[in-house]
């Protein structure tokens, strides 16, 4: 299995690289030129294609011959970085490639998510700040996911809760809609978010799903499991 990790140098990206290597996958990582050194720990074990992830030629080169592509979608910048990245992956991954994208709970697929007021407040503040200091474009990440949802590729969009560092607790649990009781704790270890992304490559039940995830040892996940017994 050969996979490409788009956004490999970030925190999530590096965890995904490690999980992929642990499984014996061949890994091609894409990251901005200035971030290549963040991948020094993997020197000689992965191939790096340096460049902005929304540059089509960069993605075309990186995904060639890959069976799966893991893409970190971020709202940074104001030049449609997320939408450009998603579009390039959708256009250049060979037909049948498993495509996994990351984003946050704020992305909705069918409008049926019920958001906690804290999350709505956070999004409002972020939108207000980025109107004044335009360092990110929240709507661009929304547009990126809209394009993925509309595509006829074998996609999964993994929607992350709030994240924390710490040792792995195991594969996160998921649900289709934010607001479902199992997700109430709203916290996932970043290393486990990465695990979910990598495991999704082999889980066809997640094709055309937008799972919202939460840590498997969080109170809400444990309460849900107990109620099933
Ligand atoms: N942070 C959270 O609490 C949270 C919550 C829910 C979901 N998520 C989702 O999780 C994913 C990764 O989040 P993370 O917090 O773990 O961050 P991360 O892994 O550090 O990823 C950040 C990514 O953004 C890139 N980046 C940073 N600044 C950039 C810029 N100005 N232009 C272009 N790219 C830039 C980084 O590349 P470089 O290495 O080149 O800087 C890296 O690939 C995202 O899809 C995010 O929506 C995060």
Ligand 1 atom with least separation from CA of 159: 7
Q: What is the pTM of this model?
A: 0.97
Question: pLDDT tens digits for 27-53?
Answer: 999 999 999 999 999 999 999 999 999
Q: How many domains does the chain have?
A: 1
Tell me the CATH number at 49: 3.40.50.720
Average pLDDT over residues 59-72: 98
Q: Which residues contact 123 (CB under 8 A, 6 or more apart)?
A: 106, 138
Q: Which residues line ligand 1 (CB under 6 A)?
A: 7, 9-13, 31-32, 35, 38, 72-74, 76-77, 81, 102-104, 160, 162-163, 190
What is the 45 CA–ligand 1 centroid distance (Å)?
23
Residues paired with 5 in a beta bridge:
29, 70
Q: Whose CA is nearest to atom 22 of ligand 1?
A: 10
What is the 164 CA–ligand 1 centroid distance (Å)?
13
**Domain carrying residue 80:** 2-228
Q: What percent of the chain stands above pLDDT 90?
A: 99
3-state secondary structure of 110: coil
């Amino acid at each position: 299995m050969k996979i490409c990790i788009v956004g490999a140098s970030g925190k999530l990206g590096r965890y995904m690289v490690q999980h992929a290597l642990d499984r014996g996958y061949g890994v091609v990582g894409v990251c901005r030129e200035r971030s290549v050194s963040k991948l020094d720990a993997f020197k000689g074990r992965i191939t790096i294609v340096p460049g902005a992830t929304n540059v089509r030629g960069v993605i075309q080169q990186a995904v060639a011959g890959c069976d799966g592509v893991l893409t970190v979608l971020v709202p940074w910048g104001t030049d449609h970085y997320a939408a450009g990245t998603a579009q390039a992956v959708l256009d250049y991954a060979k037909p049948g490639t498993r495509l996994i994208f990351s984003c946050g709970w704020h992305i909705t697929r069918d409008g049926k998510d019920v958001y906690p007021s804290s999350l709505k407040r956070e999004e409002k503040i972020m939108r207000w700040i980025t109107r004044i200091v335009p360092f990110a474009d929240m709507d661009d990440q929304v547009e990126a996911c809209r394009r993925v949802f509309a595509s006829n590729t074998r996609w999964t969009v993994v929607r992350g809760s709030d994240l924390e560092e710490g040792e792995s607790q195991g594969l996160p649990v998921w649900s289709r809609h934010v607001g479902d009781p199992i997700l109430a704790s709203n916290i996932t270890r970043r290393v486990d978010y990465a695990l979910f992304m990598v495991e999704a490559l082999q889980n066809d039940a997640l094709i055309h799903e937008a799972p919202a995830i939460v840590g498997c040892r969080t109170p809400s996940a444990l309460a849900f499991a107990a109620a099933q017994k």
